[in-house]
Amino acid sequence: MATKPSHSLMWNSKAECMPIEERRSLQLKRLQDLVERIAVQSPFYRSLFQKHGVKPGDIRTLDDLRRLPFTVKEDLRDNYPYELFATPLKDVVRIHCSSGTTGKPVVSGYTANDIEMWTEMMARSLTSAGASYRDVVHNSYGYGLFTGGLGIDTGARKIGAATVPMSGGVNNRQIMLMEDFGATVLTCTPSYALVLAEAAAQMGLDIRNRIKLRVGVFGAEPWTEEMRVEIEEKLHLEAYDIFGMGEIMGPGVSVECAYHNGLHMQDDNFLPEIIDPDTGEPLPPGEQGELVITTLTKEAMPLIRYRTRDITRLTDDPCPCGRTSVRHFKLTGRTDDMLIIKGVNVFPSQIEAVLLRHSELAPQYVLVVERKNNLDQLEIQVEATEAFYNQGADTISLFSEKLHYEMQQMLYVSSKIIIVPPRTVQRSEGKAKRVIDKRKEWLER
């Protein structure tokens, strides 16, 4: 990345560049107010605090945050739909939820003030990525119960940008409208950005000369630096990482600035920690662990020490952009996405980093995990590019052997590499499905 960014824009410099001691005082005041409020208004937290012997008066410093119990996703599912709400339903103006593909969906409610706060966070985020009222934002995040589409939409309108509420799907039409409407900012998942780049190539469209994209804001799934390079080369834009979760708020919890040296947490509204995922003990800045977030200002459904399951690390080192908020680095994976293969921890992001080093391969892959003869087997199916696949079976076989060695050096576990023809791995309009774990089927036989 360039050492001298082309912009250093801020939406709210007073909040984003707040002196650190002033920020910490604000965080403590908001944390104390939050704990006092939900101890009365939230039946869930009132019961949880009583169970753990916690009283609002126990929170005297920010270090006392560790005295509060964790909240986990199972709590949200077990209290479906409204039991975690801390305001009456009459004060809730919007409800979002997850797909619920693994059971009851995870619900999140918003008051009018919550929506205003979210809009502010999104305005800051898009501005941090260089977007302004001059831009045309092509929004390919899903609209509806998923928070991505509406979250981006409200922020784009807040900064005065023209917004195309496209959602996902119909890839050729997406490319046509980006060209016809003069899109300058693309927002979607990083995997879908590559799907759109592939669609443009199949249409024979020269993106560099026909589409005006200059910025991409990509999130909702972990992605590697190798994927950033791939996206930037294929779409001819500058790619920014954005983070959020529906249960926390949606997109805009944190975002990169023009220096791309971590994501600035909007920590006047969200208080982050890093913990050891096994022990739950807090870790100091710089150490990698699980990201935990407390929502300081959310009214309808605040969360105390919510375990996100995302793996990253925090830094409070000064950023050249001038923002004083704590930063977290790119997510390296999720504890619930981690595969244990023959006792070894394997993250899909590790595999992706190896695959994307090679120009012979397309950025589309799937990991299939099975159990055969009581042993775990990892199969990596990855697409070849058209040009490489046409070189024939012998060339592909030799390359597979080389890739197998590289993968073993990275993962310390053996895997089977299968290079498949172009456009045979299933594409996704939203979050890419990278793992098929068949071991449960084996156990149920």
What digits encode the pLDDT tens for the residues 62-100? 999 999 999 999 999 999 999 999 999 999 999 999 876
Q: How much is the pLDDT for 1?
A: 41
DSSP codes joined into one string, 245-307: ETTTTEEEEEEE-TT-SSEEE-TTTEEEEEE-TTT--B--TT--EEEEEEESS-SSS--SSEE
Q: Is the peptide bond before 81 cis (omega within 30 degrees of 0)?
A: yes
C-alpha–C-alpha distance, residues 432 and 387, integer Å: 24
User: Domain extents for the chain?
Assistant: 13-19+107-334, 339-443
Q: What is the mean pLDDT of the chain?
A: 92
Please state which CATH number belongs to domain 13-19+107-334.
Answer: 3.40.50.12780
Give percent of the chain above pLDDT 90: 79
User: Domain 339-443: what homologous superfamily?
Assistant: ANL, C-terminal domain (3.30.300.30)
Q: How much is the pLDDT for 442?
A: 46
Strands (E), 266-413: 270-275, 289-295, 306-312, 314-315, 327-328, 333-334, 339-341, 344-346, 361-372, 375-384
Q: What is the pLDDT of residues 142-154, one digit of tens each?
A: 999 999 999 999 9
Choose among 51, 337, 365: nearest CA to 221.
337
274 burial type by CB count under 10 A (0-12 exposed, 13-18 middle, 19+ buried): buried
Mean pLDDT, rounded, for 103-112? 91
What pTM, to 2 d.p., does this model score?
Answer: 0.85
In this model, does residue 169 exceed pLDDT 70? yes
In angstroms, what CA-CA distances link 356 with 2, 196, 307, 364, 408? 21, 17, 30, 9, 16
Q: How much is the pLDDT for 100?
A: 62
C-alpha–C-alpha distance, residues 144 and 140, integer Å: 12
Q: How much is the pLDDT for 163?
A: 97
Taking the alpha carbons of 392, 394, 395, 398 in that order, is the dihedral positive or negative? positive
* 2 pLDDT tier (thresholds 50, 70, 90): very low
Least confident of 98-107, 297-306, 424-433: 98-107
Asked whether 302 and 66 are in contact (CB, 8 A), the reply is no
Q: Could you say which DSSP state residue 91 is in?
A: G
148 burial type by CB count under 10 A (0-12 exposed, 13-18 middle, 19+ buried): buried
Q: How many CB atoms lie within 10 A of CB 27?
A: 19
In this model, does residue 9 exceed pLDDT 50? yes
DSSP codes joined into one string, 36-66: HHHHHH-HHHHHHHHHHT--GGG--SGGGGG
Please tell me which of 89-103, 220-234, 249-263 the model is most confident about, judged by mean pLDDT. Answer: 249-263
Give percent of the chain above pLDDT 70: 95
In this model, does residue 101 exceed pLDDT 70? no
Alpha-helical runs (H) found in 203-235: 207-210, 225-235
In this model, does residue 373 exceed pLDDT 70? no
Q: How much is the pLDDT for 142?
A: 92
Residues 210, 212, 214: CA angle, nearest 5 degrees: 140
In the numeric block, the tokens 């990201």 are attached to 291
